Structure 1
Amino acid sequence: MSTLLDNSITYTPTLEAVKKAAERISKVVVKTPLGESFTYSKKYAANIFLKREDLQQVRSYKIRGAYNKISSLSQEQLDKGVICASAGNHAQGVAFACNKLSTKGVIFMPVTTPKQKVEQTEMFGGEWVEVILKGDTFDDAYKNAVKYGDLNKLVFIHPFDDEKVIEGQATIGLEILEQAEGPIDYVFAPLGGGGLLAGLSSVFKQLSPNTKIIGVEPEGAPSMSFSLKEGKVVELSEIDRFVDGAAVQKVGARNFAICRDCLDDMVTVPEGKICQTILDLYNKDAIVVEPAGAMAITALDSFKEEIKGKNVVCIVSGSNNDITRTAEIKERALLYAGLKHYFIIRFPQRAGALKEFVADILGPDDDITHFEYSKKHHKENGPAVVGIELKDPADFDELVGRMKAKNFYGQYLNDKPDLFQFLI
């Protein structure tokens, strides 16, 4: 982990600049609805409103900053072309802008980017865009893109640490204040590199200073939280990449400076809890979101007492979720809720051992969801990796007690992340 800070950065977007951005992007950006969520309003005894940026043409707010930046370039710059690095949503915004403005774009994306986001980027860009997959993380892709851009003299379109990008994202703040029928007490918004929160918070601090702005990060990539704590930009050495739309190792210097002055609080949310929000939004409200898009709503639990009776806005930032990730999302949600558990079970190598385990060890509502076993000859016991799903997390202790009493218990794997990830 290293720390960096450019003390010369004093930029804050002006309302005039944000209004110009709103005018510039008005032909391509949808004024997304701000609607009350009856599900979450009832759950938190508050007035919870969702700003549906998942309904943009590129299914995320990133089109705002990308189009504002690219459309502000000179014709000479547009003729040479642009380049960017992105884990997905910024890439789609840049691709869409390149297509609309007839300028060539080169887009670097991590190899680990969900296939759906790569395909959508290619679709939005058409013949105007070339996608290059490079590196395992956004930061890897970013470094490669900068080198390529310098070599070919292309304008780099930064996903968050850029004034025009920040001003484009800030237009969300103008829309919310225009759409709201009364005062807004809280705004919760996701934070990756910080472009959205920098723009949004600066607008609210100028037009609605009593509104509390809460930034939300994934627990596995708390770049801004660490930076604010240290008073300088912190580069994390390792991050959990699951929330690909918000997993960055280092926030932008401009974004940090603005958030340091304008944010009221920062909170991190566990990836497993984010997954449960994704499932709830789909099952209860028929809303499809990606992990980053669910973060703001996920954070409401941490403020459930403070927001009672208040007017609260949550930014639903994007819906670019690959359906092939559904199994992993469900798995992470179950693990977080304490409903899914993995063990190494020591099975006696005799006939009827599995039958005994099912009859005497499992509870009436327990279910085996994973089973790997290979019989070992000349051994008294044979190990098996077993996944068990419970109906109630309170049943866990009794389950383990029965395993130990009958001498089936080997190891519990959920709290051994390295071994757990290797086996499952």
Structure 2
Amino acid sequence: MSSLAVADDEPVAIDLLAQIHAARVYEVARESALESAPLLSSRLGQRVLFKREDQQPVFSFKLRGAYNCMVQLDAAQRARGVVAASAGNHAQGVALAAAKLGIHATIVMPVTAPQLKVDAVRRFGGAMVDVVLAGDSYSDAQAAAAQLQAGHDAVFVHPFDDLAVIAGQGTIALEILRQHPGPLQAVFVPVGGGGLLAGVAACIKALRPEVQVIGVQAADSDAMASSLEADARIVLDEVGLFADGTAVKQVGALTFELCRRHVDAMLRVDTDAICAAIRDIYQETRSVPEPSGALALAGLKQYVATHGTGAGALVAIVSGANMNFDRLRFVAERAEVGEQREAVFAVTIPEERGSFRRFCAALGKHGITEFNYRIGDARSAHIFVGIQIADRAEREALARAFRAQQFDVLDLTDDELAKLHLRHMIGGRSPLARHEVLYRFEFPERPGALVRFLDQLHPDWNISLFHYRSHGADYGRILVGIQVPPHERALFQRFLETLGYPHVDESGHPAYRLLLQG
């Protein structure tokens, strides 16, 4: 394939720019839209634009580079076939290009690749493609592909470290500059191995050097950021797999050199910020990007929060939408924290009458997003609670309000273990939960609904279990355990009728009896 002479910067830039202009991407790809994001623009105080590469035929920008590389193969190379390694999106681009050009392709994907992407590769490639699953990351798949390529004398189509691939991805920059000739402050680019960032940066710096090009990586897959900081390519021991499309242990030699010369800055973002960006894109476009597809927007938001607003628009490349449906639950759970709109606390209150009401008073008018409690100690109660906030200052104010009530407080908002696992593991059997009845309620999602419930609850009935999680609906689903002596059950029924909230008695549910009943 093409090679990059790195001795002279200017000849390289000119040669790559010529290749970008000559790239044959539009035989399969389309010029994607550059769309305004009015909600985010209003919220951030600066114009934000989305480059919608998620709208390509394979729902990712990768088709551009793969096809531009393969269409340049001569007859002898095409006859030998191609081998590729990919976490998913490059594989789909190679598959579609193989079907279009009549070239047989063997594509190696990590076993961790989303099934959605594996199925799509087979669908796009049809009879021209064989899929092999090997390794846990792109780097593992690449090693397996190298063995296959050597054994079959096939052509290796690199997902990022090839000049033709980089040129294909660079056509995105040409489109951005053509679609938005006005003031442009910065373009934010998701980064895995660096092919997209290298092509975009080289093109923009050659044509509009005043425009900043900023790469964005997941904090647990930051090979490019770490390499640029070290001024040498480093190899990560492990990579995070949430943003699987950019989970690369080592960036390319060509991409590193181009990024070292042309990229203005690199940003790292965490999982919560990515989830919040996925939600932002959905709210603007009603489409759902994959985690890697939302990286650029997460970085854009972090940049504005750190640097403030400036002159000119900010562009985030929405690079792909190959999202596994079963990830949406996780994304929804974490988006509120990523947006700094949810604080998560473990609060210890005394197991005595009135303490729960004092806890609610400390909340003020903040909405509760989650509440987990199970009686377990005769002296104190441990509550896991999620609370709606506007910013970090409100989170700190809430902690002070709890402490003012003499409650012990542990702030878990940034705690991965608590958010990912512990929130789902609170509960169990309790020998203290005597005479417990278990009910499911539907509360109206409005301020005061919980307080009204507590006001009408008999003061001698103790709440022994409480679970609530906001689902974004106009009503909340609550599971409550209440200790009601048998001779007061008729009084309890009158309480339910007076309360007027829809409810279901689950006291006889077999799972409750097996797992929770003391």
Q: TM class, shorter-chain normalised?
A: 0.7 to 0.9
Aligned partners of 1:361 and 1:399 also within 8 Å: no
Aligned to 1:35: 35
Question: Aligned runs of 1:26-105 on 2, under 5 Å?
Answer: 26-105=26-105
Helix, strand or coil: the match of 1:83?
strand
Superposed CA offset, 1:301-333 (max 9, x none) = 343355433133221111111221111112222
What pairs up with 1:342-353 in 2 under 5 angstroms?
Answer: 343=346
**Aligned-partner residue type, residue 389 of structure 1:** G
Whole-Å separation in 2 of the counterparts to 1:193 and 1:227: 11
* 1:17-32 paired onto structure 2 within 5 Å: 17-21=19-23, 24-32=24-32
- Which whole-Å CA distance do the structure 1 matches of 2:349 and 2:111 have between them? 39
Q: Does 1:220 align with 2:220?
A: yes
> Which amino acid in the other structure matches residue 112 of structure 1?
T
* 1:318 aligns to 2:320 (yes or no): yes
The 1:284/1:180 distance shift into structure 2, 3 A limit, reads: closer
Deviates more, 1:174-183 or 1:24-33: 174-183
- Paired residue for 1:249? 249
Deviation, 1:360, is 5.6
Q: Is the 8 A contact 1:344 1:413 kept in 2?
A: no
Q: What is the CA–CA distance in structure 2 between the aligned matches of 1:412 and 1:35, rounded to whole Å?
A: 39
Tell me what 2:386 maps to.
Answer: 389
Query: Matched residues in 1 for 2:369 and 2:206: separation?
Result: 55
SS of equivalent to 1:229:
helix
Match of 1:3 in 2: none
Taking the TM superposition and a 5 Å limit, the aligned residue runs for 1:112-191 are: 112-191=112-191
Question: For the residues of structure 1 that align with 2:416 and 2:301, how far apart are their CA atoms?
Answer: 26
CA apart distance, 1:345? 7.5
**Aligned 8 A contact 1:340 1:387 in 2:** no
Query: In 1, Cα distance between the equivalents of 2:325 and 2:87?
Result: 17
SS of residue paired to 1:209: coil
Contact 2:239-2:247 within 8 A present in 1 as well: yes
Q: 1:333 aligns with which of 335, 352, 357?
A: 335
CA contact (8 A) 2:194 2:255 kept: yes
Query: CA shift at 1:154, angstroms?
Result: 1.9
How far 1:417 moved relative to its partner?
4.2
- 5+ long unaligned stretches in structure 1: 1-5
Q: Which amino acid aligns with 1:312?
A: L
Q: Which residue number in structure 2 is paired with residue 202 of structure 1? A: 202
Q: CA deviation at 1:228?
A: 1.0
Amino acid corresponding to residue 235 of structure 2 in structure 1: E
Opposite residue 321 of structure 1, the aligned amino acid is M
1:52 to partner: Cα distance: 1.1
Structure 1 residues 357, 346: CA separation in 2 closer, same or farther (over 3 Å shift)?
Answer: closer
* Residues 70, 157 of structure 2: 8 Å contact kept: yes
Could you tell which deviates more after superposition, 164-173 or 285-294? 285-294
Between 1 and 2, higher relative CO (CA 8 Å, sep ≥ 6) is seen in 1
**Deviation of 1:112 (Å):** 1.5
Aligned counterpart, 2:438: none
Deviations 1:190-242 (A, max 9, x none): 11111011111111121112221111112222211111111111111123221
Alignment of 1:245-324 (within 5 A): 245-304=245-304, 305=307, 307-324=309-326
Contact 2:183–2:312 (Cα < 8 Å) also in 1: no
Given that residues 44 and 308 in structure 1 are in contact (C-alpha distance below 8 angstroms), is that contact kept between their aligned partners in structure 2? no
SS of match in other structure, 1:234: coil
Q: Describe the SS at the equivalent of 2:48.
A: strand
Give 1:370 shift. 5.5
What secondary structure, in the 3-state scheme, does the structure 2 residue paired with 1:215 have? strand
Distance of aligned partners of 1:95 and 1:356 in 2 relative to their CA distance in 1, 3 Å threshold: farther
Within 2, Cα distance between the matches of 1:267 and 1:218?
A: 9
Partner Cα separation in structure 2 for residue 344 and residue 145 of structure 1: 52
| CA deviation after TM superposition for structure 1 residue 115, in Å | 1.8
Alignment of 1:366-405 (within 5 A): 366-368=368-370, 387-392=384-389, 394=395, 396-397=398-399, 401=403, 405=407
Aligned-partner Cα distance in 2 for 1:416–1:180 = 41
Deviation of 1:262 after TM superposition, in Å, equals 0.6
Q: TM-score, normalised by structure 2?
A: 0.70
Structure with the greater alpha carbon radius of gyration: 2
Aligned 8 A contact 1:54 1:60 in 2 = yes
Aligned counterparts of 1:157 and 1:347: Cα–Cα separation in 2 = 64
SS at match of 2:177: helix
Listed one character per residue, the Cα deviations across residues 222-274 of structure 1 (whole Å, up to 9, x for unaligned) are 21111111111111112322111222121111111001111111112222112
Q: Secondary structure at the match of 2:184?
A: coil
What is the CA RMSD across the aligned residues, in angstroms? 3.1
SS in 1 for 2:120: helix
- Secondary structure of 2:234's counterpart equals strand
The SS at the match of 2:189 is strand
1:37 Cα shift?
2.2
1:193–1:248 Cα contact (<8 Å) kept: yes
Asked if 2 retains the 8 angstrom alpha-carbon contact of 1:49 and 1:312, the reply is yes
Is contact 1:47-1:310 (8 Å) kept?
yes
| Unaligned residue ranges in structure 2 (runs of 5+) | 425-518
**Identity rate, percent:** 34
